[in-house]
A and B are shown apart, each in its own frame.
Chain A
Amino acid sequence: MSHDRTNGIGTGTDTEARVDERFLIRRILQGDEAAEREFYDRFVDRIYRLSYRMTGDDELARECTQETFIRAFDRLPDFRGEAAVSTWLHSIAVSVTLNGLRRRRRHHERETELEDARHLGTTPLDAVEPDLKSRLKRAIDALPEMYRTVFLMHDAEGYTHEEIGAVLNVPVGTSKARLARARARLREALSDFAEEFAG
C-alpha cells in the first residue's frame, strides 16, 4: 500500500480532532483565508487519491476534487457536526466523483454510438486480455458502481468498513457485504484462472 493507512478519515471517535476541526470551520466561516487553505491542505490528498482511484483520470479527478471543496466551502454554514468533517467531505467527494463518472460515461456512450457501435460489448473480456492482471483491472472496471466504490475504498485506499459506512451512509454490515460481493464478482470474472490460485 503506497499511502499511510493510519491517516484515516475518522468516524467520530477522535473527539479532540473534531473539536479542532470545528474551530477551523469557525475560522473559515469568519472569512479567514488561511483557514480555508489549512482545511484544504488537511484533506486534499485523501480526496484527490480517492477520486483518482475511482476515475483513473487525472483531469476528472482534479475537477472532482475542486468541485468537492467548492461545495464543501459553500455548505460549511450548514454543517451540523453530526459526523466528522472529514467523513462529511468524503461523502461529498464520492457523490461528486460518481456523478462525474456517470457524466463521462454518458458522454462516451453518445460518442461511441455516433462513431462506431460495433465495438460495444461484442468481444468477450477473456479473449482480449489473457494476462491475469489486465483481466482483473477490466473486471474491476466492470463492477457495479457501489461494489466498485467499496472495493476501491477498502482494498486500494485502506478505509475501514466503519469509515466507508459513514461516508456512504450505509451500515457497516452493508459495506462488508458489498466488498464480499465485489470480490465474488471478481472471482467469477477470473474463474478460468482458478488453478493459478490453487497452488
Chain B
Amino acid sequence: MKEDRFVGLLRQAAEEYNTPPPTPREEIWAGIRSRRRPGDGSAADQRYDASVRRAGHVRPWHWGIGMAAVFALGVGLGRLAPVGNTTREPQPYGARDSQPHVALGSQPNVADAPDATSPLLPYRIAATQHLSRTEAFLMSYRDGVRTGDITPELSAWAAELLTGTRLLLDSPAAQDPRLEQLLLDLELILAQIARLSSTGDPGGEAAMIDEALENRGTLTRIRAVVPAGPPVTGT
C-alpha cells in the first residue's frame, strides 16, 4: 500500500466523515441564553449582578486598607495637594458648567473637581496621581520596547502600579464606570508587563502589548482623565 496514496485517501475520507452542516448559531445561542438566564437576562440585570458579586467580596476591613493605601499613594509621594492649593489650570470644557459634579473619569478630566467637602475628593486626587504615574510608566515602557530594553526594574514598576490600580478599583473611585473600565484595562496591561521579567519575553510579548496599547488608545484614554499641565503638587 503506497503511503502517500493511503494518507491521501484517509484525508479525503476524513473530510467526508461527518461533514458538518452550517452552524445553527441562533438556536444554540438561544439555548445558552435560556440556560444561563432563565429570567430576563437584560444587560441591566447583568450589571447589577456584577456589582453585587463585586461588592460581595469586598469586606469592610478591605476598605480600611484600601483607603489608607490610596491616601498613601498620594501623600506618601508628597504630591497630594489640598484642594485650595491646587495649581492646575482646568481644561476648557464645554459641558463643564452643565455638569458641576463630573464623576471621576467622566469627560474630560478629574480636574473638574467637586466641592472640597465631597467624600470622593481624596480618591479623585489619588486616582489622578496614579494615572499620571501610570501614563509616565507606559511612556517609558513603550520606549523600552522600541529600544529592546525591558528591564526587571520596569517590570517591578509595573507591579507597583498594579497594586495601586487594584486598590483604586476597590475604592469609591471606581464608582465611575469610565474610570473603572480604564483601571480594569490598566490592571490587565500592568499584570502582563509585570510578568515579563519572569518570562523573559521569549515570544515578543512586550511588542504585542505595546501594539495593543496603541490599538486600544489606552494612553489617550488616560489623558482624557488626567488633564494636561503640571501635576497636582504638594505645598
Contact = CB atoms under 8 A, between A and B. Distances in A.
A62 B24 contact: yes
Contacts of B25: 41, 44
Contacts of B35: 66, 70
B17 A62 contact: no
Nearest to B208: A15
- SS class, residues of chain A in contact with chain B: helix
Given A15-B209, A197-B6, A62 B15 contact: no
B46 A152 contact: no
Interface centre among B7, B23, B209, B216 (most CB of A within 10 A): B23
Contacts of B160: none
A52 B208 CA distance: 35
A140 interface: yes
Interface residues of B, number: 48
Interface in A176-199: 183, 186-187, 194, 197-199
A55 B6 CA distance: 24
A48 B23 contact: yes
Interface residues of A, number: 54
Given A1-B15, A183-B10, A40 B32 contact: yes
Interface in B24-42: 24-25, 27-29, 31-32, 35-36, 41-42
Contacts, number: 130
Contacts of B204: 15
Nearest to B48: A31
19 contacts: A19-B188, A30-B181, A31-B49, A31-B50, A49-B23, A52-B18, A52-B21, A62-B31, A66-B31, A66-B35, A69-B32, A136-B10, A140-B17, A152-B18, A187-B1, A197-B1, A197-B5, A197-B6, A199-B5
Interface of B: 1-2, 5-7, 9-11, 13-21, 23-25, 27-29, 31-32, 35-36, 41-43, 46-47, 49-50, 181, 184-185, 188, 192, 203-205, 208-209, 211-212, 215-216
